[in-house]
Chains A and B, each alone.
Chain A
Amino acid sequence: MERNIVEEIRGRFPKEVTATSNLRGDIWLVELRKEHLPAVIEYAHNTLGGNLLTMVATDRVDTEDDYLIDYVLGWYRQGQIIVFRTTARRGDESFTSVTPMVPCADWYERETKEQLGLMPVGHPNPRKLLMADDWPDDVFPMRKGFKLDTQIPTKERSSFPFEAPEDAPMFNVIPYGPYHFAIHEPIYFRFHADGERIRGVDLRAGFNYRGLEKIAETRLTYETIPFMAERVCGICGSAHAEAYSRALEGAASIEPPERAKWIRVAMLEMERIHSHLLWLGVASHMVGFDTGLMQFWRVRDKVMSLAELLTGNRKLYGMIVPGGVRRDIREDKRKVALKVVQEVQTEYEELLSAVLDLDTLKRRISGVGHLSNEEARRHSVTGPMARGSGVDMDVRRDFPYEAYGSLEFKTPVEPGGDVLARTLIRANDTLESIKIMRQVLEGIPGGSVHKPIDYIPPDVTSVGLVEGPRGTDAHYLITGRDNTVYRWRVRAPTYANLPAAKLMLEGETLADASIIIGSIDPCISCAERIVIVNMKSGVEKVVSGEDLGRRPI
């Protein structure tokens, strides 16, 4: 039965909720006073089972003299998105933290604190998240008053306050990152290991922070942001361009032409096939099965050639823009593409069955990195991470966008909760994507591929969801007046999934750490989008004496 989540929340909190309204279609706005925020979010997330999609604070000091604080939750089975909105007056830059009850709000609230200077009162550990160690504590880059050319007064570099288990002195500290062979991207895990057994984990992110959102607000226009969005990530670029475009099209209340929708689906699915093949290769390498790496990447190369054929680029397709797509798919290319997709399918199926038969590989990935269904829900993980723990969610099916409503596909769900389950999800997802890709290439309707957007009303809040290869990409948007966004926040799936790594790693061995972290399919540059970080601070710390605990064998 269809439940109306908005009504349920109104019924439960008649006094606290000050107003509700429908923003558009499946997106609702629930306004409340600041002090009621934790109770309502806790009820919505923990009791009603909403998935925390994103949390955004916006500086409105130049217009309304306040800060908007929005928690966006999604109910996949009901197909509803609710924006919980409250405000903080200027001069009272704080709000009550929901992290003690809803642990997945941790990163969002820490980011809000360092980017906008809104203090999450009651947050258990409001330390830095994205900014460099020598970034001053009283300069907030996402405030409207912060200009891009501001000279930053550097402060004495403080060391990052890592968490340690209580009996920590007994354990060896093992730094995993910021540069590690296995993950290829800068993220710093700090293990407290008892021999090879991991007893405590803490992680530090932020080495890849580039300040894209600030650049978008100040330098870019509506038309140029999709290309920046695509560069949020080298692997799931189209998903970001699509999420931004959907959010903007929603705000402007326009729909792209039918043919453009189908081409968009082709781009997104091609990207998913590429991403999963890439991951399967990397995962094989992480457990020492290099033949898997070579073979999966051989097939992956075909997908890249296919992308080159259809878009002119092997990666970063540059196709999706607000209002449609930039290039049409010519008839002759469509036929070749169909043939390539068939080849990819044959080769992939053969390869997959051979690889999944390997005992040594299976033994390495089954039973490690366990994330239970309750934990997955509690931490609002997304994509293959959630589906691998039996949480059935898929934006393509639950909030059908573009042409997905008229396409046939299944959403693989595995109850296992271990690395094997996540591997199977991605392996089967690839087959579904190949199926979708074929349906699109066979049934694509005719017509134009782009519809210009004439007018974008200002001050409209919009959310664009896309099922990226790693999970739900949530782009939050407030339209502005100067042909650019007033606020744009990118929530890549890794941002939601990475904090859960702590749960998965504790109690496991160092040998399995790589594949467990790998099983998130972490995309660090996605998670950290936003000012150039002093990379040295991280690196110097790793090689400094305190980390290099010497211990006789």
Chain B
Amino acid sequence: MNILPLVVNLTLAILIAPLLDGLRRKITARLQNRVGPPVTQSWHDVLKLFSKEVILPEAGGILFVMVPVLTLVLSLAMFATMSTVTAQAPMVEGGIIFIELVVLSAFTFAIAGSASGNPYGVVGGSREVILATIVEPSMIASLVSFVMLRGSTTLDYSARGYVSLIPLLMSGLAYLLCLLAESGRTPFDLAEAESEITGGPLIEFSGPSLATLKLGQYLRNLALCSIPALYISVLILPGLEGVGYSVIVLIVYLVSLILCTLMLSLAESLNARFRLLEASRFYGFVLILSAFSLILAYLAPTLGL
């Protein structure tokens, strides 16, 4: 375990995760002809919530208290498995653990819903489970094909390039489409769906527990938005060295975050919420895409693609 990248990752993550959400809110607001809140708004929200009293629903047990902490811890753990702005990742061979953490945290949110004992929480939780079940396979397939194409399970920038361009682009596209659902925003905010099931799993959370949960979600989204930087890096970085290298890594990382946020905002502004059935149809196609990228990634060396 490399300590320096880990410290850099965690500090950076906690600082900018709410800012990234703030940026998304700002861009969405501008797309909707609104002024929008300042970029720091999500930070203010979290800090305000931390200053409030703790209220527990009668039906909520120990799980209800645990879930926000669990969400936060799982999200933070993601940053131990990959690079953000450092060339080296804190952990060698962390790719598989990253995938496990992504899947695990999606289901944690679903547990949050049923832990509260509220019917809306239960409905939201079951929606999240179904959504996760249809999205995660594509997510896993696209990440595995990415790992295979660059020949390393270490999620860092020291890549030696890639094997084949076409499956790489397919994998990247599939990943971005999965990101739409993973981020939990419109059009795939089925689990929260404020105007249908009034926040779903979030409904009974308030004060510090809501703040912890929110912070966990911001961190998870930041981690997911960081992966496209690695896709970009295998395309342009191999062969670079020295000081210029670090600067370019930083630029690539920021560009990745901004592009992902822009994509999420656009999707949010230009779509109505999907129904569960429509979402599963949509992700059926994404699964085909990611499965093909996986097959091509496997065959690429043999076929000489």
**Chain A positions 503-553 with a Cβ under 8 Å from a chain B Cβ:** 509-514, 547-553
Q: Mark B92-126, 1 if CB is under 8 A from A, else 0.
A: 00000000000000000010011001111011011
Are B270 and A513 touching (Cβ within 8 A)?
A: no
Chain B residues with Cβ below 8 Å from A174 are 119-120, 123
Q: State in angstroms the CA–CA spacing of A290 and B265 once bound together.
A: 12
**Chain B positions 243-296 with a Cβ under 8 Å from a chain A Cβ:** 268-276, 278
Report how many residues on chain B are interfacial, defined by Cβ distance under 8 Å. 39
Q: State in angstroms the CA–CA spacing of A288 and B279 once bound together.
A: 14
Are A511 and B119 touching (Cβ within 8 A)?
A: no
Q: State in angstroms the CA–CA spacing of A537 and B273 once bound together.
A: 34
A181 and B119 in contact, given A290-B32, A358-B272, A550-B59 (Cβ under 8 angstroms)? no
Complex interface: stretch among A156-164, A205-213, A360-368, A456-464: A360-368
Are B275 and A364 touching (Cβ within 8 A)?
A: yes
Q: Which of A172, A285, A511 has the most CB of B within 10 A?
A: A511
Residue of A358, A509, A553 touching B270 (CB-CB under 8 A): A358
Are A284 and B126 touching (Cβ within 8 A)?
A: no
Question: Distance in Å from the Cβ of A529 to the closest Cβ of chain B?
Answer: 27
Q: State in angstroms the CA–CA spacing of A513 and B199 once bound together.
A: 15
Question: Distance in Å from the Cβ of A341 to the closest Cβ of chain B?
Answer: 21
Chain A residues with Cβ below 8 Å from B273 are 287-289, 360, 364
Question: Distance in Å from the Cβ of B62 to the closest Cβ of chain A?
Answer: 15
How many A residues are at the interface, by size bracket? Answer: 35 or more
Q: State in angstroms the CA–CA spacing of A191 and B199 once bound together.
A: 18
Question: Distance in Å from the Cβ of B14 to the closest Cβ of chain A?
Answer: 29
A196 and B123 in contact, given A295-B32, A553-B110 (Cβ under 8 angstroms)? yes
Chain B residues with Cβ below 8 Å from A360 are 187, 271-274, 278
Are B32 and A294 touching (Cβ within 8 A)?
A: yes
Are A509 and B198 touching (Cβ within 8 A)?
A: no
A294 and B34 in contact, given A195-B126, A514-B196 (Cβ under 8 angstroms)? yes
Chain B residues with Cβ below 8 Å from A284 are 272
Residue of B nearest to A285 (CB): B195
Q: Which of B118, B199, B268 has the most CB of A within 10 A?
A: B118
Residue of A nearest to B107 (CB): A553
Can you list 22 A-B contacts with CB-CB less than 8 angstroms, sorted by A residue number?
A172-B122, A175-B119, A180-B198, A181-B195, A195-B126, A286-B196, A288-B186, A288-B187, A289-B272, A291-B270, A294-B34, A358-B271, A364-B275, A510-B123, A511-B190, A511-B196, A511-B275, A548-B117, A548-B118, A550-B117, A552-B114, A553-B114
Tell me the A residues contacting B by CB distance below 8 Å.
172-175, 180-182, 193, 195-196, 284-292, 294-295, 298, 358, 360-361, 363-364, 509-514, 547-553
Tell me the B residues contacting A by CB distance below 8 Å.
31-34, 59, 110, 113-114, 117-120, 122-123, 125-127, 129, 186-187, 189-190, 193-199, 268-276, 278
Extra contacts besides A287-B195, A295-B33 (7): CB < 8 Å: A181-B195, A290-B268, A291-B269, A358-B270, A360-B273, A548-B59, A550-B117
